[in-house]
């Protein structure tokens, strides 16, 4: 018996009846199974080794300033993966599936985080980072063949945000953990720079969830496990759901949309808009890697600019728009 088959046999025995089994997990293009890794482990490895995943190291999570002390899209994705694995493992769900999707869920994010996403949408009419993440996975990497991920991982990536819900419980875990992670860790980063502190939190949040990022994270994770164990759904008790909603509203008011942050975000939006307008008007400036012949000018420009790191976008902007003195 192959190692992969042993792992699949353990899944059939140990996972909950509503968990997703890796055996025979379908792909758009079917492949011979790996001898050692399950289908979801293979997906995880393809994502980890991809250029798009490595670029997340230099893409903004919240703070545009470069510093080892702030989260990036890479550290955010890793933190989401760890939280999701913890919950999935406790609920006897497929940890490999949830880890693969968590690591890949932001691969399509623009430079400068949501500021870049807003700018891209303003330029082209519609842009969602979850949709772009799936596009990147499907069409880039492995010399243009794409990562050819399993349908379950693709679904979890696409549905980690937005109105469409995932088809698997593992996807629902990711959806929950993405929000928990960014709220707790952005609160941590904001506290580190002195923007806010636990003393500023609404009373309902402080009372029900705590005043420290680690406390809030522990309360939410433990409650999801407690409420969801032995059930075919992922549940957060209304008592904590209400507090989390207030916590999110607080973060948007005090951090994400505060005047100081908006000044820097407008600068970032200007960079993305300027580059998009430039490439749409002068497609000859797009590099070969943009694959204009394959995707057309508009889509090639979207893929290229959204795939830039923060530093690369700024350097290109300066190259095209700053005079040489």
DSSP calls for 164-209:
SPPSSHHHHHHHHHHHHHHHHHHHHHHHHTTS--GGGS-HHHHHHT
**Mean of pLDDT values over 159-175:** 97
pLDDT of residue 61: 74
For residue 218, what pLDDT band results from cuts at 50, 70 and 90? very high
pLDDT digits (tens, 9 = 90+) for 95-136: 999 999 999 999 999 999 999 999 999 999 999 999 999 999
Q: What is the pLDDT of residue 18?
A: 97
How high is the mean pLDDT of the chain? 94
**For range 227-236, the mean pLDDT:** 98
CA distances in angstroms from 249 to 74, 90, 115, 246, 256, listed in the order given? 25, 29, 18, 5, 10
DSSP string across 223-280: HHHHHHTTSSS----HHHHHHHHHHHHHHIIIIITSHHHHHHHHHHHHHHHHHHHHHH
pTM tops 0.75: yes
**What pLDDT, on the 0 to 100 scale, is given for residue 211?**
96
Averaged pLDDT for residues 171-198: 93
Whole-number pLDDT of residue 69? 59
Q: What pLDDT sits at residue 324? A: 72
For residue 5, pLDDT over 90 is answered with yes
CATH topology (fold) of 35-321: Hypothetical protein af1432 (1.10.3210)
pLDDT value for 68? 56
- Domain boundaries of the chain, sorted by first residue: 35-321
């Amino acid at each position: 018996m192959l190692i992969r088959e042993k792992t699949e046999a353990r899944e059939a025995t140990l996972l909950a009846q509503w968990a997703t089994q890796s055996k025979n997990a379908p792909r758009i293009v079917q492949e011979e199974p790996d001898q050692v890794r399950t289908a979801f482990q293979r997906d995880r490895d393809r994502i980890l080794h991809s250029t798009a995943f490595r670029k997340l190291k230099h893409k903004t999570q919240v703070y545009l300033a470069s510093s080892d002390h702030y989260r990036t899209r890479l550290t955010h994705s890793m933190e989401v993966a760890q939280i999701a694995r913890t919950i999935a493992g406790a609920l006897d769900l497929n940890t490999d599936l949830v880890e693969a999707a968590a690591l890949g869920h932001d691969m399509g994010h623009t430079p400068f985080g949501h500021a870049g996403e807003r700018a891209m949408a303003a330029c082209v009419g519609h842009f969602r980072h979850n949709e772009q993440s799936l596009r990147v996975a499907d069409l880039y990497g492995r010399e243009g063949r794409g990562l050819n991920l399993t349908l379950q991982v693709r679904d979890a990536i696409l549905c980690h945000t937005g109105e469409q819900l995932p088809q698997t419980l593992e996807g629902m875990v990711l959806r929950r953990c993405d929000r928990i992670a960014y709220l707790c860790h952005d609160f941590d980063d904001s506290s580190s720079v002195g923007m806010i502190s636990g003393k500023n939190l609404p009373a309902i949040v402080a009372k029900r969830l705590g005043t420290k990022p680690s406390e809030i994270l522990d309360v939410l994770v433990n409650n999801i496990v407690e409420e969801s164990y032995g059930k075919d759904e992922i549940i957060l008790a209304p008592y904590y759901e209400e507090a989390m909603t207030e916590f999110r509203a607080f973060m948007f008011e005090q951090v994400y949309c505060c005047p100081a942050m908006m000044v820097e975000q407008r600068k970032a939006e200007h960079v993305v808009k300027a580059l998009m307008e430039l490439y749409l008007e002068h497609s000859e400036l797009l590099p070969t890697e943009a694959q204009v012949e394959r995707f057309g000018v508009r889509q090639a420009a979207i893929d290229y600019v959204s795939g830039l790191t923060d530093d690369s976008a700024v350097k290109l902007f300066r190259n095209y728009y700053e005079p040489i003195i």
